[in-house]
Structures are given as structure tokens and as C-alpha cells.
Structure 1
Amino acid sequence: MDGGPGGLLRPALVAGGRVTAAHPAGRAPLRVAAAQVTAIPGDLAGNARTAARSIAEAADRGVHLVVFPELSLCGYDVGLLRDDIARCAVEAGGDPLDIVAEACRTHRVVAVVGGCRRRADGWAIGALVIGADGRPAAAYDKRHLDRDERELFVPGRADCLVEVRGWRLGLGVCYDASFPEHARALALAGADAYLCPSAFTTGDSDHRRGVYFPARALENTCYVLFANFAGSHGNWEFAGRSAVYAPDGRVLADAGTGPGLAVADLDDAVLRRHRDALRMLTDRAAPAPPPAAVPVPAG
């Protein structure tokens, strides 16, 4: 929310530092979708079937990659997670993930779904990447946890960058996007887009949602894909507004507040044009030492 073991699902690592080499020219566009779904807390099989239907709908619209909200397979219900977190576990080879995997394989679509991952040191909020062949390809564990989440989960220890059809895609989960350095590190590692499964609610959280995601796109001149829940569950009313943002922060597609898909193309020519014009990644100053406060006389 705003604020180890696992079968075949292993983190994919990236290294920080300098901007990586540019991609070869002429990549084909990558059509992506943010799937805005409702969820039933604890009904992993039912939520997986909902995801499978969204994958099928996305495939009918020519989509190559679908991203679902944070903890999409179990729902974001803190009470349920406190009472029986093991019920919300998602493992490679488990039935709920198999349902999603079969949809990916049938429709030749990559999916990013959310679930609780069991690790040697505790539970993590995971974003699980399923390839178009139906096989688990990578996993990312949310690195920034809010106060409630720290009571239940351990933070991830590594960033994750995957490549789909020649496009490098960095993963974050919800609260990660509140920290500009998270998306920036992925952009410097070569990410063309920042994918962020989320669980933003109505009210103040929705205000922050409207600030964070276009800002992450603009300051890193990268595409941003934000996937949120529709409707309510677990005593939360979710804000929806799943969207795809262009590298200048403008909205390319918005799912509104009900269930649906926000679909847009990641276009190489558009990305290059924005990065040629908006050079924040290459014009960054070297880090400066922390300043000392200078006393200023005041009347």
C-alpha cells in the first residue's frame, strides 16, 4: 500500500550507477496494460480467475504485457494478513499462479501479479513476473514498507529489471514510488519504463497518487505504468485511476474508477525524443557533500 525460498521465483538483480548503453534503434512498440480489478480478500483462486479474464481481454487488444495491483492474488486486507498470512502465500506451482500461468501461455502475454512471498527471513510483498510461455520469470520484493506493513513483512533487498521484447522494465510496488531514488536507480540501470503494482485508496492517498507517478515519469524520462484496485475490500475504498504515463509525465491511458484496462504503446521514437529534449538523466550533477547551515541575521 501507499505507505528467499519460493520455488522458481527468484529476484532479478540490477546494479546502480551510470546510465547503461542505449538500446539498438528501431525497437517495435510494446503494448502494455494496467489491469484495474476488484479483489476478494483470501480468495486466491477467484482473484486468479479474474486476472485470467483480464489477460484474455488484454490479448484481444494486442497487449504484450499486463500489470496487476499490489497483492492482486490475495487482496490488500491487513486484517486477513495479520490473522492468516500463510493463507495468502503464492508459490511457483501453486494453483492460483497456475491459473494465471495458463492464461499467459494461452494468450502469449506477460503478466505481473502480486502476492505474499515466503522467504527464509519472513514474508515479503512480491511482484511476480510470468512469461508468455507460462513460466515464472522473475520476482521483486517490495523494498519500502509502511508502518502497518513492517509488522507483517520484511523488505526486499534488491531491485529488479526485466526485459520484454527488447524493452527494459523496472519493478516497484506502491510505496516504492514515494521515494524518487527508487525509480531513478532503475532508470540509471537502463529501465525504459517503471512498472508499479499498487493499492492507493481514496482521499489523501489518491492525491499523492496523482503527484508521484507523473513525477517519476518526467524526472526519469521513462514510461510509468501504475496498476491499482477498483472498488473496495478489507475496509479500504480504492481510488482506481490505473494509468500509463509518457516520459514527459502526460497521461497516455487512464482506466477511470471502475474495473477495466488502461492500454498504451511504449514507443521507442517517443522515448528517444523525450530523452533528447529532457536530459535529466545525463545532466545530473555529481553528489555534493552535506552542507552546513549558514547563520543569517534576521530582524
Structure 2
Amino acid sequence: MKVSAIQMISSVEREANLARAHALLGEAAAAGAELAVLPEYFCVMGRRDTDKIALREQPGDGPVQRFLADAAREFGLWIVGGTLPLVSPEDEQHVLNTSLAFSPAGDCVARYDKIHLFHYDNGTERYDERRVITPGTQPVLFELPSRDGHVWRVGMSVCYDLRFPELYRALAARGAELLLVPSAFTHTTGSAHWEVLLRARAIENLAWAMAPAQGGTHENGRRTWGQSLVVDPWGTIAAQRATGEGVVSCDIDSAQVAKARQQLPALAHRVIAAWA
């Protein structure tokens, strides 16, 4: 199955971002991709964290959700829309940071609300997603029947989740063969940890990992790391892009997952399922 990780440098204007996403999804479809995944915050990188609140959508309808459904139908693609803000059950001052998966028929087949919320303060850069985001609570995966007849089990996650291996263990325990990590890593944390964390998650779960990212200097002044990657179950980087907008396409093979798990059955050797 050919997959495409889409790298963007999203701006503060939703419609401009959707137009760029549409063009990049078209490139992915033209390259023969069956699955295209957009990065975290693909629809907006606001000037302030609170800008997300004004753009929040009700689950099931809204400009961004309609865009994703329409693009899936237009291009005949499975599309995972990095993240978009949905209405929070907490209050009107928070949103959910949500990743949605759409089938080529335009149906929303899975929804994942980001569980782990980024917090970082080195004295110069300060981020605290808890100020405007309500965390999700449940791991999510969905089934994707590829053109070759294999039904992929796809595990969903977002950005900062990458630092919590127990989430990916839970997904692998439920049969995940492909792990999605749409992200907007900062340049500081990405340069230090991005690649090693992605390769580790692929290696320890003997699964493909696919991580589309934001990659450049944004209109709001934020600088993101980029380096969108596809990593195979042995931890080898199969495709990547350093910075700038673009499409990272790669063929992934379910047989590599089966072979790796047969040759090194580490998932079956787990002794400690969870700490109390």
C-alpha cells in the first residue's frame, strides 16, 4: 500500500491552509497513495493558543470536516486529518485536539482525541496545551482495507503522545500494524528527540510508523521541526523530508510486519503488562 505523509507550514488563516492541504492531497493521489495523513494543526496555526476556540466545530459537521470528507471522495483517498479543534465537553474555553479518519466514500470512520497534552518551558519557549485543550481518554484504531486485499489495523496518536510508549503498546496489543503520529514538534524538541522516538516506537512494536509534520517557520513566529517520516518495523527510515511543504510517499508492506514479528516475537514475550 502506498502512503503519503503531508508536510505543511500552516498559517493563521484556515481557508488558506485548506487550499494548500487540498493541493498536497492532490499530489498524494497523483502519486498513487491510498492513505494520506495531514499534520497536527494542518487547518490553523493561530497567533495565540486561544484562536482555536473560535474555530471549534461540533463533531460531525463543520468547514474542516466537510473539507476532509469532500477531499476523500474527490481523490478516492483514505485521509487522516492531522488535527482540528472540536467542541469540548469541559467548557467553552477549551477544545478537543482531534484527529479524524475518512474513507474514500467520505465517511468518518474513526475519531481520536489527543490524550497527552504538551507542556514545555525552557525559560525562553513556553507551551502549555492544557490552557485551551481538553485531553482525550481512549486509544483508537481503525481498519483500512487496502487495494491488495489486506486489512490494515491503523493506530492513531498525535505529536506529544509519542513520548508515552504505553499508548503504542496498547495499540499494538489490539493488532495495530501502522502507527500514525501527525505532529507539530517544536524545532527545539524535534532536533533532539523526534527521529529517535519515532524509530523506537516502530522498533518496540514491530510496526510501521508514519509521522507527517509541520516543518518550517510559521506566520505566528513558531518554528517547527519537520522531518516527516515513514519508518519500517525494523526501525529503518523508508522515506523522509527535512523541511518545507511537500508530500512524503512510500510503499509499505504488511508482510514486513508479519516477518518482523515472527523473527523477533518480542510482543509475545511481554511479562509486565502494566505497572500498578
Larger mean Cα displacement after TM superposition, 188-197 or 253-262? 253-262
Which residue pairs with 1:127 in the alignment? 99
User: Is contact 2:35-2:79 (8 Å) kept?
Assistant: yes
Q: d(CA) in 1 for partners of 2:113 and 2:229?
A: 22
The correspondence for 1:202, drawn from 166, 187, 203, is: 187
Matched positions, count: 257
Match in the other structure for 1:296 = none
2:137 equivalent in structure 1: 157
Measured after TM superposition, the shift of residue 255 of structure 1 is 1.7
After TM superposition, the runs of 4+ consecutive aligned structure 1 residues lying more than 4 A away are 287-290
Q: Percent identity?
A: 32
Describe the superposition over 1:93-138 as per-residue Cα deviations: whole angstroms up to 9, x where unpaired. Answer: 3223323322210111011111111122241111111221122222
Partner of 2:34: 64
2:223 aligned with 1:223: no
The one of the two structures with greater contact order (alpha-carbon pairs below 8 A, sep at least 6) is 1
Distance 1:288 1:254, change over 3 A: closer
Q: C-alpha deviations, 1:256-292, integer Å up to 9, x for none? A: 21211111122122111111122221111245878xx
**In 2, distance between residues paired with 1:173 and 1:116?**
13
- Quick one: distance in 2 between partners of 1:181 and 1:250? 22
Among 237, 244, 250, the alignment partner of 1:258 is 244
Residues in 2 aligned to 1:90 and 1:227: alpha-carbon distance in whole angstroms: 23
Of residues 127-136 and 86-95 in structure 1, the stretch that sits farther from structure 2 once superposed is 86-95
Residue of structure 1 equivalent to 2:2: 31
> Cα deviation per residue 1:217-259 (whole Å; 9 max; x = unaligned)?
0000000001101222232111111010000111001022121
Match of 2:262 among 276, 280, 283: 276
Any conservation in 1 of the 2:7–2:245 contact (CA below 8 Å)? Answer: yes
Q: Distance in 2 between matches of 1:287 and 1:213?
A: 22
What per-residue deviation string (whole Å, max 9, x for no partner) do you get for residues 185-229 of structure 1? Answer: 100111001101101122333221021100000000000001101
TM-score (normalizing by structure 1): 0.81
Shift of 1:36: 0.4
Q: What does 1:7-46 align with in structure 2 at a 5 Å threshold? A: 30-41=1-12, 43-46=13-16
- Structure 2 contact 5–248 (Cα < 8 Å) conserved: yes
What secondary structure does 2:267 align onto? Answer: coil
Could you say what the CA RMSD is over the residues aligned between the two structures, in angstroms? 1.7
**Cα separation, 2, equivalents of 1:287 and 1:249:** 23
Query: Contact between 2:64 and 2:84, CA under 8 Å: does it hold in 1?
Result: no
Q: Please tell me whether the aligned partners of residues 51 and 100 of structure 1 are also in contact (alpha carbons under 8 angstroms).
A: no
The question of whether the paired residues in 1 share the 8 Å contact of 2:10 and 2:41 is answered with: no
Counterpart in the other structure of 1:15: none
Gaps of 5+ in 1: 1-29, 291-299
| Unaligned segments of structure 2, at least 5 residues | 120-127, 146-150
- 1:103 equivalent among 65, 68, 71: 71
- Residue from 177, 182, 187 that aligns with 1:192: 177
Post-superposition CA distance 1:154-205 (Å, at most 9, x none):
1101111011111000000001010111111100111001101101122333
- Distance across 1 between alignment mates of 2:168 and 2:64: 29
Question: Which shifted more, 215-224 or 60-69?
Answer: 60-69
Instruction: Assess if the C-alpha contact under 8 Å between 2:111 and 2:140 holds in 1.
Output: yes
TM-score norm. by structure 2 comes to 0.88
**SS of equivalent residue, structure 1 residue 140:** strand
- Asked if 1:88 is matched to 2:37, the reply is no
Amino acid at match of 1:281: L
